[in-house]
């Protein structure tokens, strides 16, 4: 054998040895793990531990060996073998097959709390039962009494565990898809729970809970803020005046109810930008904050702040106005921090400009996601006036998407038929009454910290139905009853979120188990949301790559097929392993025949990952342009996430923002 050939073979063998192990059945996906709390590194298998590793550290697996009946892993921080860190017992890690992690939905939005089963067989037995809800309800009741059940390893906390407040990981280890008895698609998921141990943790379901002797303290500091975002263009003066009148009388009712210091109101007005400079000057503003609820204590204060609000003296360029700019102004400018319940109520008789036509550059879904990250619920009161008849259908589609609420898993869109001022006032009064009742219940002790079960929870609906409202006035019509019911359910959800933050409720501690991603009683209700953990570097990479792809598409440098393939490759890469997304092959996965491998066992996919070439082609130019506009909105959203320092999570205490060691739990729907 020649010297050159021998050297080449040795070099090839060395390169192969310095690559991580492949995932079983894969040709290009490497094995990764997450470290559990207390994980330790050694110099070699079985050696004395030398280094404590931060929980949640993500490492590649280079070797697996057995020693004394125990599996050991050689780990590295990169895929080139340049940053190997040592050996670790496999039991101190969790497999990390994709970048996806799960987050609890608010338990107030569904009939039952999530149960974690010891095995898939145990979970399937419940799903196969004639009445899964009854079986699960019986198990939950046993756990509440402190009865041990070997089928259950943990139960979701009663309060809402906000991943943005107290970070936790629920990585997906395995999954199966199956149909529920009613025919709904259900994913059964094997997950691990990894929670940092610095704070008191929730006990696993198998451990009986001792009764607390401490006195129950009501939610006396629970406060609500309501910000009206109102269209102030021509024709809106009657609604502006009626909003003033309504708020004044609401403050009077609050004073009688003894909750004057528990609810405050704010107001933002919006119009639109005009292409005519003179008209633009006369319009005065696109969006303007008139009153911040954190600075308002009574009706006089509110009325003083909004005294100068009036409808525009000139018309705008289009029937649609820039409602999204008004909502974004409320999200950004209002001081929400001290408020336990956070509401924005959009009032308009027209659809909203969106994408490049809006000053926000965002779509309804992107704006809703931004509000959800801050715990803000978006109501829409759509005034369906005769003048806007041609606009009603498109505006309804926009606003139903904008008002979709994750906590109650329903839309907070409420049309006001004919736009009648009296009807509008009834809707506002119904909404306000429900908010006051909810806050009054919290302040007087009807809702007790640490016990969602003692809260005044609205009656649970039948599967697929909206919640029914308690104590509705006799003769109230169906639309107002629905508004009252949803507002009551939403108030309960916000209390659970508030209690979760105040009591520092965490996800259950380290364990592995099987869960259903749909509620047993109502399969239409999600038990879990999907997040993608991106570091600052990865989010910046995603933003930069998308900008290049979108720019190339706009400049006509990419053919439609090439644009779609590049975009889908990038989206898929970020769902799998974002650290590989800047490699040359990342944009050529389709050409290399790797897309199927990357997609084959992902339980959840983003919008682009779910698209196929035929669907993309049949969309036609206009729909493709609309899609590109949505991508540009996502790019703006990433910039906002990057600047949102309060919701970045430092997984390793020694990581700094400069090194890209922080992560943001990006909703899967926000990926391309």
If you average pLDDT over residues 556-583, what whole number do you get? 74
If you average pLDDT over residues 53-73, what whole number do you get? 90
Look at 104 and 644; give whichever has higher pLDDT: 104
If you average pLDDT over residues 131-151, what whole number do you get? 90
Given a cut of 60, whether residue 653 has pLDDT beyond it is no
Q: Which CATH number is 224-421 given? A: 3.40.50.410
pLDDT at 29: 83
Number of helices and strands (H, E) in the chain?
A: 17, 25
577-602 pLDDT, tens digit per residue, is 787 666 666 665 555 555 566 667 78
- As a dihedral over the C-alpha atoms of residue 479, residue 483, residue 486, residue 491, rounded to 10 degrees, the angle is -170
Instruction: Give percent above pLDDT 90 in the chain.
Output: 37
Task: Name every residue whose Cβ is closer than 8 Å to that of residue 264 and which is 6 or more positions away in sequence.
Answer: 223, 224, 225, 226, 293, 294, 296, 297
Residues comprising the chain, all counted: 672
Tell me the pLDDT of the chain averaged across its residues. 81
If you average pLDDT over residues 250-272, what whole number do you get? 89
pLDDT at 604: 83
Look at 452 and 280; give whichever has higher pLDDT: 280
Given a cut of 70, whether residue 278 has pLDDT beyond it is yes
Given a cut of 90, whether residue 201 has pLDDT beyond it is no
If you average pLDDT over residues 402-411, what whole number do you get? 93
If you average pLDDT over residues 238-251, what whole number do you get? 92
> pTM of the full predicted structure?
0.80
66-100 pLDDT, tens digit per residue, is 998 999 999 998 888 888 999 999 999 988 888 88
pLDDT at 86: 93
DSSP string, 317-357: SSSSB-HHHHHHHHHHHS--TT-SEEEEEEEESS-B--GGG
If you average pLDDT over residues 372-377, what whole number do you get? 91
Written in H, E and C, the secondary structure of 598-643 is HHCCCCCCCHHHHCCHHHHHHHHHHHHHHHHHHHHHHHHHHHHHHH
pLDDT at 139: 93
1-15 pLDDT, tens digit per residue, is 444 443 443 334 444
Domain spans in the chain, listed from the N-terminal domain onward: 19-95, 100-209+505-530, 224-421, 534-670
Given a cut of 90, whether residue 383 has pLDDT beyond it is yes
- The top-scoring range by mean pLDDT among 204-218, 251-265, 504-518, 596-610 is 251-265
pLDDT at 127: 93
pLDDT at 556: 59
pLDDT at 395: 94
Q: Answer whether CATH 2.30.30 is correct for domain 19-95.
A: yes
pLDDT at 220: 66
Look at 351 and 442; give whichever has higher pLDDT: 351
Given a cut of 70, whether residue 340 has pLDDT beyond it is yes
- The top-scoring range by mean pLDDT among 68-72, 504-508, 625-629 is 68-72
CA 452/CA 138 separation, integer angstroms? 18
Give the up-direction half-sphere exposure of residue 498: CA atoms within 13 A in the CB hemisphere: 27
Q: Which structure tokens are listed for 130? A: 């004639």
If you average pLDDT over residues 494-515, what whole number do you get? 80
Q: Work out the pLDDT band at 472, boundaries 50, 70, 90.
A: low
pLDDT at 590: 57
CA 534/CA 548 separation, integer angstroms? 19
pLDDT at 205: 47
282-336 pLDDT, tens digit per residue, is 889 999 999 999 888 888 999 999 999 998 888 888 888 999 999 999 999 998 9
Q: Work out the pLDDT band at 196, boundaries 50, 70, 90.
A: low
354-372 pLDDT, tens digit per residue, is 988 899 999 999 999 999 9
Q: Work out the pLDDT band at 619, boundaries 50, 70, 90.
A: confident
User: 82-96, 132-146, 151-165, 208-222 — which is least confidently predicted?
Assistant: 208-222
The shares of helix, strand and coil residues in the chain, as percent rounded to the nearest 5, are: 40, 20, 40
If you average pLDDT over residues 640-652, what whole number do you get? 79
């Amino acid at each position: 054998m020649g010297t050159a050939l021998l050297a080449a073979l040795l070099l090839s063998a060395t390169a192969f040895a310095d690559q991580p192990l492949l995932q079983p059945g894969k040709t290009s996906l490497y094995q990764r793990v997450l470290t559990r709390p207390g994980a330790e590194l050694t110099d070699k298998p079985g050696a004395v531990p030398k280094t404590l590793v931060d929980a949640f550290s993500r490492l590649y697996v280079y070797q697996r060996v057995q020693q004394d009946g125990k599996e050991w892993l050689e780990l590295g921080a990169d895929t080139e073998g340049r940053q190997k860190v040592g050996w670790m017992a496999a039991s101190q890690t969790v497999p990390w097959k994709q970048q996806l992690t799960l987050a609890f939905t608010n338990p107030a939005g569904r009939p039952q709390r999530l149960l974690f089963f010891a095995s898939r067989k145990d979970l399937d037995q419940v799903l196969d039962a004639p009445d899964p809800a009854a079986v699960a309800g019986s198990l939950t009741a046993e756990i509440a009494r402190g009865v041990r059940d070997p089928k259950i390893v943990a139960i979701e906390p009663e309060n809402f565990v906000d991943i943005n407040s107290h970070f936790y990981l629920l990585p997906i280890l395995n999954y199966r898809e199956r149909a529920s008895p009613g025919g709904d698609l259900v994913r059964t998921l094997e997950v691990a729970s990894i929670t940092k141990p610095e704070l008191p943790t929730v006990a696993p379901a198998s451990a009986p809970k001792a009764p607390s002797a401490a006195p129950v303290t009501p939610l006396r500091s629970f406060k609500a803020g309501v910000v009206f975002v109102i269209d102030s263009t021509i024709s809106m003066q009657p609604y502006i005046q009626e909003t003033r009148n309504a708020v004044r009388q609401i403050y009077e009712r609050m004073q009688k109810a003894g909750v004057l210091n528990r609810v405050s109101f704010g107001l933002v007005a919006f119009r639109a930008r005009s292409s005519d400079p003179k008209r633009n000057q006369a319009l005065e503003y696109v969006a303007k904050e008139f009153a911040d609820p954190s600075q308002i204590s009574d009706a006089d204060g509110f009325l003083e702040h909004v005294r100068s609000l009036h409808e525009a003296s000139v018309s705008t360029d289009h029937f649609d106005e820039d409602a999204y700019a008004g909502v974004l102004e409320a999200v950004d400018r209002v001081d929400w921090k001290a408020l336990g319940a956070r509401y924005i109520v959009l009032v308009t008789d027209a659809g909203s400009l969106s994408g490049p036509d809006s000053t926000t550059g965002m779509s309804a879904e992107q704006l809703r996601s931004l509000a959800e990250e801050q715990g803000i619920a978006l109501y829409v009161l759509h005034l369906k006036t005769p003048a806007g008849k041609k606009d009603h259908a498109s505006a309804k589609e926009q606003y139903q998407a904008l008002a979709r609420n994750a906590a109650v898993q329903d839309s907070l869109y409420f049309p006001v038929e004919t736009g009648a001022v009296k009807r509008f006032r009834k809707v506002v009064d119904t909404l306000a009454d429900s908010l006051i009742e909810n806050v009054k219940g919290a302040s007087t002790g009807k809702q007790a910290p640490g016990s969602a079960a003692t809260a005044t929870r609205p009656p649970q609906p039948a599967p697929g139905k909206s919640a029914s409202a308690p104590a509705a006035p006799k003769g109230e019509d169906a639309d107002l009853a629905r508004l009252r019911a949803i507002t009551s359910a939403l108030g309960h959800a916000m209390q659970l979120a508030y209690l979760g933050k105040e009591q520092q409720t965490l996800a259950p501690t380290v364990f592995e188990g099987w869960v259903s991603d749909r509620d047993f009683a109502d399969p239409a209700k999600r038990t879990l949301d999907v997040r993608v953990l991106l570091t600052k570097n990865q989010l910046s990479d995603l933003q930069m790559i998308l900008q290049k792809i979108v720019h190339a598409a706009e400049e006509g440098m990419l053919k439609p097929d090439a644009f779609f393939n590049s975009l889908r490759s990038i989206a898929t890469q970020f769902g799998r392993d974002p650290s590989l997304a800047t490699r040359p092959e990342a944009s050529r996965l389709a050409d290399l025949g790797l897309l199927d491998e990357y997609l084959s066992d992902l339980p959840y996919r983003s919008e682009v990952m779910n698209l196929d070439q035929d669907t993309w082609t049949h969309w036609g130019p206009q729909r493709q342009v609309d899609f590109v506009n949505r991508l540009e909105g996502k790019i703006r959203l990433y910039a906002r996430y990057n600047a949102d320092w309060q919701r970045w999570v430092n997984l390793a205490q020694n990581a700094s923002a400069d090194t890209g060691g922080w992560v943001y739990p990006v909703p899967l729907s926000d990926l391309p």
